[in-house]
């Protein structure tokens, strides 16, 4: 598990090659770093939304939303409303254009800013593809803000101090082509609600 984590971190770092790195600004640099832009492959997007059972009553937040694909698909295929939060202005613009093209601009919004500045109290589903350190930092925010029953679905990086409601493993050909590693894990969690204790996770050796 540790080797896998290190491999993924290295691969995420590699993705920051020429032409792929997000444009930097002083504000960008001051934000807690959840990692570079690495898009979730479309197959994985669909599996994440299915795992969280996203439907028309949901308000989906993708924290670090990249080109907006998770939020756009949640609206287009599952009828949900959605908000993407992304620090990179170009990606936010691309997301807004993508939402118009997909015909869901009335149901989704893309905010340029820091993940930690959004209010998650109305959220029913959170989607994530962020580095492990960011996951640890987000854990208290999720405990404090997410309503009881909200689902969190994370691509590859677990919330190590939360008990998993489900876990899926499969290979993604697109990821194999882009990152050289197709192995994919999805983790599902359920929020207990503000103020309620999250039961301790039965942590498996090496999962931290
Ligand atoms: C691995 S990409 C995932 C993109 C998208 N969620 C997906 O799965 O396709 C992580 C994204 O998080 C953004 N990000 C990292 N830290 C952030 C922060 N503190 N506030 C807002 N966005 C952040 C990065 O710019 C990047 O686009």
| 92 domain-assigned | yes
pLDDT band at 57 (very low <50, low <70, confident <90, very high): very high
In a domain, 205, yes or no: no
Count of the separate structural domains present in the chain? 1
Q: What is the pLDDT of residue 50?
A: 98
Question: Closest Cα to atom 11, ligand 1: which residue?
Answer: 64
How many C-beta atoms lie closer than 10 Å to residue 16's C-beta? 13
Contact 36, 88 (CB under 8 A): no
Choice from 22, 82, 87 to test ligand 1 binding pocket (greatest atom count within 8 A of CB): 87
Q: State the pairing for strand pair 125-128/81-86.
A: unpaired
CATH for 145 = 3.40.50.150
CA 88 remoteness from chain centre:
15
Contact 76, 103 (CB under 8 A): yes
34 C-alpha vs ligand 1 centroid, how far in Å?
6
Average pLDDT over residues 47-70: 98
For 81-97, how does the pLDDT look when each residue is reduced to its tens digit (9 = 90+)? Answer: 999 999 999 999 999 99
> Which of 37, 49, 90 for a ligand 1 pocket mutation test, highest count of atoms within 8 Å of Cβ?
37
Sorting pLDDT into bands at 50, 70 and 90, what band is 100? very high
Q: What is the whole-number distance in angstroms between the Cα of residue 98 and the centre of ligand 1?
A: 17
- Band (pLDDT 50/70/90 cuts) for residue 200 is low
Report pLDDT for 201.
Answer: 61
* Residue 90 counted as domain residue: yes
How far apart CA 60 and CA 49 sit, in angstroms, is 10
> Is residue 198 included in any domain, yes or no?
no
Domain of 160, in residue numbers: 2-15+34-190
Pocket of ligand 1 (CB under 6 A): 22, 31-35, 37-40, 62, 64-66, 69-70, 85-88, 91, 114-115, 129-130
Neighbours of 1 (CB within 10 A): 12
* Residue 22, in any domain of the structure: no
In a domain, 199, yes or no: no
pLDDT at position 207 is 45
Who wins on pLDDT, 19 or 149? 149
């Amino acid at each position: 598990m540790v080797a896998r984590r290190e491999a993924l971190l290295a691969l995420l770092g590699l993705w920051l090659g020429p032409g792929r790195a997000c444009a930097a600004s002083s504000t960008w640099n001051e934000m807690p770093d959840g990692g570079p832009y690495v898009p979730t492959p479309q197959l994985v997007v669909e599996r994440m939304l299915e795992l969280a059972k996203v439907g028309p009553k949901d308000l989906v937040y993708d924290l670090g939303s990249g080109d907006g694909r998770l939020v756009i698909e949640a609206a287009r295929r599952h009828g949900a409303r959605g908000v993407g939060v992304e620090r990179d202005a170009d990606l936010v613009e691309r997301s807004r254009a993508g939402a118009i093209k997909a015909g869901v601009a009335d149901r989704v919004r893309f905010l340029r800013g820091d993940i930690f500045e959004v209010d998650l109290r109305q959220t029913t589903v959170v989607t994530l593809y962020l580095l492990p350190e960011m996951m640890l930092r987000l854990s208290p925010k999720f405990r404090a803000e997410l309503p009881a029953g909200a689902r969190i679905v994370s691509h590859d990086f677990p919330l190590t101090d939360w008990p998993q409601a489900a876990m899926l493993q499969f290979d993604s050909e697109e990821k194999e082509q882009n990152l050289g590693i197709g192995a994919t894990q999805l983790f599902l969690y359920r929020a207990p609600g503000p103020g309620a204790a999250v039961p301790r996770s039965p942590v498996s050796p090496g999962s931290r």
